[in-house]
Every structure is written in C-alpha cells, then in structure tokens.
Chains A and B, each alone.
Chain A
Amino acid sequence: MNKLFLIIQREYVQMVCKKSFIITTILVPILSIVLCGVLPVMLSGVKSEEKKNVAIVDQNPEAPFAALMTEDDEFRYINISALPTDSTLLDAHALYESARENQDIYALVVIPDRFVDNPNYNIYSEKSVNANLERNINACLQDAVRAKRIESYGIDSLESVIKHCSPRIKSTNIKWSESGEENLSSADLSMILGFALAMLTDMFVIIYGALIMNSVVEEKTNRIVEVIVSTCKPIQLMLGKIVGVALVGLTQLILWGILLGIVGMIFGISTMATVGQDMSQAATDPAVTQAVQEIQQSSEFSKIVQMVLSVNYTQIFICFLLYFIGGYLLYASLFAAFGSAVDQASDASQFTAPIMMIMIFALYAGMFCMSNPDGPLAFWCSMIPFTSPVVMMIRLPYDLPWYELAGSLALLFLTAFGILWLSARIYRTGILMYGRKFTFKEIVRWVRNK
C-alpha cells in the first residue's frame, strides 16, 4: 500500500510540475475565452466597419419598395429608381455602370413592376452575392408585400385579425414528483447539462488515457520499468499510474474551474458596474422601475428559477462521479495495457484506433439519444459498459428507473474490474518484452500465461 502511494505521488508530482501541464492549464481557459468570447465580438466588429452600397431600382409607380429598404450593419441601400431609364426595356448592366460612376456599388437590385402580384426580383452583381444581402432584402420585401396585400382588401383592422389567427404555441413541462407535487422542468436545460457532462467524460478519457499510455511507453523505453518491477508488483505500478494521472486530471479540472470562476467574476463585476450605472440613471425614470418589477413578478421569471432548481443535481452529480470513475478505470487500464505492448508511442495506433472509434461512437450515440432518451439505442448504449459512461450522462437528467441505473452501473464496474485484471496480466508481460510489434493474438497469449 505504501509503495502504491509512493508511485501515485511520483506520477502526480512529475506530471503536475511539467511545463506542459502548467502551460495547458493556463492556456486552455484563456484560449477558450478568446475563441468563444473575444474573437466573435472582434470579428463582428470588423464586419460593420465598411458598409457595402447596394443600388435599388424599383419599377413600381412611385417606387414604394425602394423607400422601405432600411440600412443595416452591412449594407447601405441607394435608391436610383429616379435615374432615367427606358421603362419597357431595362438594361441592367448600363444602369449598374452609370450608378458606379458616382460611388462603389456592390450589387444592383431590380424590383419589377406589379411586384405585389408577382414577387420575384433580381440581384445583379459581378461577384457572387453575400447571403446576408438576400436575407435582408427578402425580409424587407416580405413585410412590405404582406402589408400591401392586406391593405388591398380594404377591410378595417384586418391586420390585427390575421395576427390573432396565427397563434404562437408554447408548452410548459410539468413533472410529477413521487409525492404527486408538480414541478416545472426544462428539456433544454437537461439536454445541455447532459451533453456537457458527456463531452467532459469523453474528452477526459481520451486525453488522460493517452497520457497514461505515453507514461507507460516512456518507462518501457527508458528500461526503468525493470528496476521498478524488481521493487514492486507490476499491478501496483499500473494502478499507481492510473490513479496518479486521474488525480492530475482532477487537479487540472479544478484549476480550470477556479480560473474560469475568477474570470467570470471579473467579467461579472465589470458588467454589473456598468449596468448599475445605467440603472441608477434609469432609476429616476418611473417607467423603467415599473418594468423591472414586472419582470421579477412575472410567472416567466419564476418559472425559469423553478426549472433551474427542479433538476436533481445531487443525483446527477453522484451518478456522474460513479460513471466517470468506472469509465475512466475501464479505458485507462486498456490504454496502460496497450502502452505496455509497444516500444514507441507511435506504434500504439493499431491498438488505440479502436478505442478512439468507440469513444466517438459513444458521443454520437449520446447525441442521438438526446432526441429520444428512452429509445432502444439509448437503452442499449447505456447498458454496454464501453458506451454507458458517455451515453448515460445524457439520459441522467431524464429520471431513469432505478433498476436501469443500478444494472448499468453494476455492468460498468464489473467490466471495468475485469478489464483491469486483464490489462494487469498483459501489462505484466508486455513491459518486459522488447524489440518488435506484437499482434493481438500474442497479447491474448500473455493473458493466458501463468
């Protein structure tokens, strides 16, 4: 036991003190903030810098549509309907050229006569047109044509009648607790939480599994393994490595959590400060204070709070931990066994490729299960121990029957310990074998060796 502790300690200290660990621990949160937060804002800022000019020719009498085009972040619309044209035969290119004489024109839009009856228009340009332009123009024209058509019926308040006749349907999910109490639940929230946990498990297993494998291969190529196994049992060395690396991973996760928390707090405080300033300015305005109170009292607000609280966090957290440990143990021991069978990390791909495929499959299976968390795919993938740690995360928020959970967990841990035992036998022989690549067949023989 003492030796196991020593080995765990060494693995942990060595990895945590590595420069690469420190760098990734600091860089990953910064990168993710930059990639998810700062970069999109910066890029969208870049977009608004230069607006493109779009010339509009409206051939309808008095050019009503051209006037309705509203300028946005990307495009400025210039009405050139007044330019002298031959009304029967339009030479679009000539128009485009003449419009270009004064300024740079990105595209020319021609809205033909009788557009209300036949809403087709043309966009002319030299380069292929930005999809946003079409979307913007369509939106403007859609509303305009709609209003004109309604107006053409000459019925008072038809607008509001139509609005009334196209209802927006909303649902509220209510879950009965065992005592029959009604709880609001949110499928979206469950889905996001489940998917985040599944991703976390998947990533953790792949990244830290590979780390274990490299560490095994390193010891083997260094030949230090021979010295170590003359002082302790191979299984102690393997277990020490698996536990040590798991602790390294946990440390990293916790550090990321803390870092993100700090960054979040800084952001939070700074936005609070600016919002607070706005608020104090707005507070004098009675309309604003009233609106704020309304939001707080409204059922929407309390519904959201109730939904966030309705998820059974304790159960999810405990199950997540169990599945996480089981899944990690299962895959980590496989990685250790495969690492012991090769001389260089680069030779290990023949063994690790199947593991990667299973992990990717598990994630996809999990995504499919989001739309049908009680279907047969979801059921079987959450029973098979190789996929259950990932798939179960997605099903967890949807209250499973306890026997399914228990069965799946039992299967997972039985298999994990089985694989651990098998891996220990492979590892024991593998770490002392040098000089060539071994096939699956030979490795099976190692397992059978006394």
Chain B
Amino acid sequence: MYIEVKDVCKQYAGHVAVDHVSLSVPDGSIYGLLGPNGAGKTSLIRIINRITHADSGEVLMHGQPMTDDDVRRIGYMPEERGLYKKMKVGDQILYLARLRGMKARDAEAAMDEWLERFELTEWKNKKLEQLSKGMAQKVQFISTVIHRPPLLIFDEPFSGFDPVNADILKREILRLRDEGAAILFSTHNMSSVEEICEQITLINHAKVVLQGEVNQIRQQFKKNILEVTTADGQSFNYSLQEGETMHDAIARLNEEYQLTGFREILPSMHEVFVESVKSSNYE
C-alpha cells in the first residue's frame, strides 16, 4: 500500500467535511475518488497533501505516518488549475520542480523530455497567458509529474481537454501507473472511471458510501438483466424472474426463440453513482 488514509475526520466551523473516511491506494494502481460536488473530496485530498490537517485519524505512507518532507513525494494537480500567467512556461515548470526538491539540471532535462512528449517544446519561452487553455492544462500536468512522485493526485484531470488531448493524457497516466506510481484521482467523469480505475471510493455527505474494485461493484449493482439477440435479428432485454438462475433463463428463452447471442448487462458506473448517492441521501 503506498498511501493509507485511516479513519480521517475534519470539521470546518460547524460542518463536517470528512467523516471517518478510510482508503488505501496500492503502488502501480489507479484509484478513483468519486462523489457529488461538496461531498468532501477536495477536503480529503487537501489533508493527504498536508495543506490542511485532519482533526482525527491519520495518513500513512508505506505504513509510516506522513511527515512534511513526504509531501515532495506527491504530485498534486488541483481542480482549479493555476499557474503564474506572466511567467514563461519553462521558468514555471522549473520553479515548481525545484520547489519539490529537484536539482536545477535534473529538472531541466526532465522538462525538455516532457515538453517534447506533449509537443510543447516551441512554447517553452512563451508566457503562459499566450497559451490556449488545453496547452496550459498540459503545462499544469507536466509540472505535477515532473519530479516523478510515487503518489499522484489528480483532481478532475480530464476537465477542459478535448477528446484527442484527453486520450494523450490518459495514455500518460496509464504509463505513469505502469512505471509504478500510485494514482488517486477524483472525477465526475464516470466513463473514465470504468476505463482506467481499478478501485474506487464513493463519498457522499463526508461519508464513504461505497468502496471496492470497480468490477465487483458493478457486479454488486447488477439488476440481473440479459440482452438477448434472436435469429430473426431482434434483440431485447430480459429481467430474470425471482429465483431463476441465468442458466435456466437462457435454456427457457432458447426454447421460445432461437437465440444467436446473449449478454449480461452490468450497470455503468454512472448508474452506480447515481443510485448510491440517491439512496445515501435518503438515509
């Protein structure tokens, strides 16, 4: 486990922002932190980043309580992107890399490599205000990952990217995971969760309402619906009767129609999200 959050609570002037939340992100995996607006995701991320401190509970890094020095092993990209508008792209990336403890020469080499990868080399000496929004986002991403942190925290990484650039970003995130980084990312974009997250935690009203592996969760939320295709080209959904197994159902349906295909329909993460948030709101 690269990072473990244990029973963390945080209160702000009368309202609870994080209520007994625990989660753990293993090395080389992507972990989704989901939840509606105002659920407490950013508060939790700020606690992990040591921008604020938890009222109770602890954050462990490789099993040890985190210290201020550990912060440089985190790369954090906040939801509200921010860079110095009047600073040159290169100076900006170097400044942030050096603040995180990189040597000037190493930082420069790493920066050139990343700029190349994102096709931004010719923009190195331009001021940030001259860049398009998408390009500025890429610069933000580079300055987050340049010091090769073992833990990456992305708050809504795909917002503001067009599909082409979103794919480039996804490719890079997966590459970082394959190189062993633990990645925690919060998002509202459920299709990206299905695509790249192995595990998720869903927070609502400061509490964990759902936690586990994405595939298992989808199994857990399945409504036992089959999509059936018949020989005459028709297809329809069939809900299993109570007590009926899938095997029985297919056998029965096959007698009635001539089946050419069938598939169990798993709920999308979107549906899982909406359903769990709604039901936790009623509690």
Interface residues of A (CB under 8 A from B): 3, 6-7, 10, 14, 18, 219, 222-233, 432, 445, 450
The answer for the CA separation of A442 and B192 in the assembled complex, in Å, is 40
Contact with A along B247-266 (1 / 0, CB 8 A): 00000000000000000000
Shortest beta-carbon distance from B159 to chain A in Å: 13
CB < 8 Å neighbour of B84 from A3, A222, A231, A233: A222
| Interface of chain B: mostly helix, strand, loop or mixed | loop
Residues of A within 8 A of B50 (CB): 230
Shortest beta-carbon distance from A391 to chain B in Å: 38
A227 B87 Cβ-Cβ under 8 A: no
A226 B52 Cβ-Cβ under 8 A: no
Interface residues of B (CB under 8 A from A): 13, 46, 49-53, 68, 71-72, 74, 76-78, 80-87, 95-96, 98-100, 143-144
A445 B13 Cβ-Cβ under 8 A: yes
B53 A224 Cβ-Cβ under 8 A: no
Shortest beta-carbon distance from B13 to chain A in Å: 7
A3 B85 Cβ-Cβ under 8 A: no
Known contacts A230-B71, A450-B53; A224/B83 CB under 8 A: yes
A18 B53 Cβ-Cβ under 8 A: no
A231 B96 Cβ-Cβ under 8 A: yes
A-B contact count (CB 8 A): 58
B51 A14 Cβ-Cβ under 8 A: no
Known contacts A226-B51, A227-B78, A432-B52; A6/B85 CB under 8 A: no
By beta carbon, the residue of chain A nearest B13 is: A445
A10 B74 Cβ-Cβ under 8 A: no
Residues of A within 8 A of B74 (CB): 230
Shortest beta-carbon distance from B81 to chain A in Å: 7
Interface centre among B68, B86, B95, B99 (most CB of A within 10 A): B99
The answer for the CA separation of A223 and B78 in the assembled complex, in Å, is 9
CB < 8 Å neighbour of B72 from A10, A14, A231, A432: A231
Known contacts A231-B99, A232-B99, A432-B46; A224/B84 CB under 8 A: yes
12 example contacts (A-B, Cβ-Cβ < 8 A) are as follows A6-B95, A10-B95, A219-B82, A224-B84, A226-B76, A227-B76, A227-B82, A228-B99, A229-B51, A230-B49, A231-B99, A432-B52
A222 B96 Cβ-Cβ under 8 A: no
A230 B96 Cβ-Cβ under 8 A: no
CB < 8 Å neighbour of A18 from B77, B78, B86: B86
Shortest beta-carbon distance from B49 to chain A in Å: 4
By beta carbon, the residue of chain A nearest B99 is: A231
By beta carbon, the residue of chain B nearest A236 is: B99
Shortest beta-carbon distance from A219 to chain B in Å: 8
The answer for the CA separation of A12 and B96 in the assembled complex, in Å, is 16
Residues of A within 8 A of B84 (CB): 14, 219, 222, 224
Known contacts A231-B71, A231-B100; A223/B86 CB under 8 A: no
Shortest beta-carbon distance from A12 to chain B in Å: 12
